[in-house]
Amino acid sequence: MYTIGIDLGGTNIVAAVVDEKYNIIAKAKTPTAMPRSAEEIFDDIAKVSKQAMGDAGITIDDIESIGMGTPGTVNKEGVIEFANNLGFDHVPAEQMLKDRLGDKPVYIENDANCAALGEAYAGCGNGSKNFVAVTLGTGVGSGVIVDGKIVSGVNNAGGECGHMVIVVDGEPCTCGRKGCWEAYASATALINQTKRAMEEYPDSVMHELAQEEGKVSGRTAFDAMRRGDIAGIKVVDNYIKYVACGLINLVNALQPEIICVGGGICNEGETLLRPLRRYIESERYSVYSKIQTKVMKAELGNDAGIIGAAILGSVN
């Protein structure tokens, strides 16, 4: 038997047929093309799902369940209560999927939580049942897996670890709080930190690097650091310290087997992960325990969310 995993994003809609070993058998994609009505978007979700089934040489009869990851919050009745960047307000997603694809079990979850589930089962977690995934992107996304299940919380909005304050009265965050981890550890935050350092250090090589690239990016400070640039080194050291702070908070609170770090900044690989591990090793609460949380790089990229969505049915 197979399942369908759907990733409903602000930019693209992706659907895939996934087998029991978490392999993607076929995948189809179409632009979300916002702004559109929920009806139109769900018509396209059904279209790419059918296309993926066609490419896999199967029909809906071969499908055990359908899972979908979406931005925003989903309630227990399968209604997407709010999804800002889709313009969704109480969209009955579960019913709309059933109407278009047939009466199969449907599971809908927040996209960051789906990505965490995918990495836990099929990615760097390799079946880990106690797992936290953190994505350093535009924001800091995260998903928490305990005992093999997503911690979606009382209102399906769990796992918003990016919105844990690490600096009381610190930098303003998009969520309304001040000093959230996201305001220090996201790629957006790194870019702001880089820009500020560039103002302070007019001779830094970062000016040259930004000009070459056409913009200040999450790579600018890392590239400058590799050239021995003092300002670049300072920015990266500080940034890594902030990322580590939140990771250690999660280690102390949840002691997962694995924390998986993903997102664009993770392309830095060991340049990022090695110092993060050093911080965690020296600051974690259970510093003397033999078994410790491992910090790993996310493996599945965008497929994490699709695979996670596809297996929602089997872990629920």
Pairing of strands 258-262, 131-136: parallel
Site for a copy of itself in 75-104 (CB under 8 A): 81-82
Shortest Å distance, C-beta 163 to a copy of itself: 4
Does 290 bind a copy of itself (CB under 8 A)? Our answer is yes
Distances (CA, A) of 90 to 81, 103, 107, 112, 207: 4, 21, 16, 19, 46
CA distance 278 to 202: 31
CB 42 within 8 A of CB 34: no
**309: three-class secondary structure by DSSP:** helix
CB 112 within 8 A of CB 100: no
Does 146 bind a copy of itself (CB under 8 A)? Our answer is yes
Quick one: which of 23, 155, 211, 316 contacts a copy of itself (CB under 8 A)? 155
Site string for a copy of itself, 17-36 (x = CB under 8 A): --------------------
Does 287 bind a copy of itself (CB under 8 A)? Our answer is yes
Shortest Å distance, C-beta 100 to a copy of itself: 27
Of 231 and 251, the one with the shorter C-beta distance to a copy of itself is 251
Of 283 and 299, the one with the shorter C-beta distance to a copy of itself is 283
Does 315 bind a copy of itself (CB under 8 A)? Our answer is no
Residues 6+ apart with CB under 8 A from 100: 42, 43, 45, 46
Quick one: which of 35, 61, 103, 154 contacts a copy of itself (CB under 8 A)? 154
Q: Which stretch binds a copy of itself (CB under 8 A): 26-34, 35-43, 193-201, 283-291?
A: 283-291
Nearest to 169 by CA among 156, 157, 178: 178
Q: Which stretch binds a copy of itself (CB under 8 A): 16-24, 31-39, 169-177, 217-225?
A: 169-177
Size of the site for a copy of itself (CB under 8 A): 54
Pairing of strands 73-74, 63-70: unpaired
CA distance 279 to 180: 19
Quick one: which of 47, 163, 195, 297 contacts a copy of itself (CB under 8 A)? 163
CB 152 within 8 A of CB 158: yes
Distances (CA, A) of 245 to 165, 181, 280, 282, 285: 11, 8, 8, 12, 12
CA distance 97 to 12: 17
CA distance 202 to 102: 61
Does 175 bind a copy of itself (CB under 8 A)? Our answer is yes
Q: Which stretch binds a copy of itself (CB under 8 A): 3-11, 112-120, 163-171, 210-218?
A: 163-171
Shortest Å distance, C-beta 76 to a copy of itself: 9
Site string for a copy of itself, 226-255 (x = CB under 8 A): ---------------xx--x--xxx-xxxx
Does 199 bind a copy of itself (CB under 8 A)? Our answer is no
Please report, as ranges, the residues that interact with a copy of itself according to CB under 8 A.
73, 81-82, 130, 142, 144, 146-147, 149, 151-161, 163-168, 170, 175-177, 184, 241-242, 245, 248-250, 252-257, 282-283, 285-293
